[in-house]
Amino acid sequence: DYYASRGLGDVYKRQAKNKRFKKINIDNSGLGAARNRGVSEAEGDYLIFLDSDDILDIELLNKLNQQDADADVIVYDYINFEGTKNNILKKNYFPENMVNYGVVAWNKAYKKSFWDKNVFLFPVGIKYEDTPLVHIIMGLSTKNVKMIGKSGYYYRQNRKNSIINEASEGDILMRFNALKIMNESIKIYH
């Protein structure tokens, strides 16, 4: 079973009655807090993260169920789109050698037991909360795999009021802050 920890976008709308999915409402406290809460409530074998304005093809979940059950992390490709998922802007493919896996949390499935064993937590109250944690996770993973032949995750671009579109002069400082947190996390996780 796979659970998204922040919003279920189109999947939730289609699967509202499916007992494998659980909608969680919390006060607006940022992505890190929302994702941490979702992880704490998840009951499945693997975790996935789906941003509320993106689209997850249900076939991706079926494909994930066919992957190696021992993998700590499964990385999958994704597609950037604007408006509807048919308006593709870019396809993002990651090589099988795992040198490049994407710095985002949402193009991966994470084994829940691996996550819990390492007590991973997203930083709270910052933008780019993926950056500090994803590199740590991939570094600690002893078995990560690249899923072959299916993207299925559609990353929405240029949406009005999107966090990513709120870039400002301070944006570069926020990115540096995320890297500083990552450096501190490297010390914690050795």
Q: Whole-model pTM?
A: 0.79
Q: Where are the alpha helices (DSSP H) in 128-167?
A: 130-140
- pLDDT greater than 90 at residue 174: no
- For 11, 41, 57, 70, 86, the CA distances from 158, given in Å and listed in that order, are 21, 31, 20, 37, 15
Q: Which residues contact 9 (CB under 8 A, 6 or more apart)?
A: 50, 51, 52, 53, 54, 55, 56
* Cβ neighbours around 78 below 10 Å, total: 23
> Which strands sit side by side in the sheet containing 55-56, from one edge to the other?
55-56, 153-156, 78-82, 84-92
Q: What percent of the chain has pLDDT over 90?
A: 32
What is the distance in angstroms between the CA of the first residue and the CA of the last residue of the chain? 31
Q: What is the pLDDT of residues 69-83, one digit of tens each?
A: 789 999 999 999 998
Q: What is the pLDDT of residues 2-42, one digit of tens each?
A: 334 334 445 545 555 676 677 788 888 888 999 999 999 99
User: Among residues 105, 107, 101, which one has the least CA distance to residue 120?
Assistant: 105
- Across 121-147, average pLDDT: 88
- Across 86-99, average pLDDT: 84
CA 124 to chain centre: 15
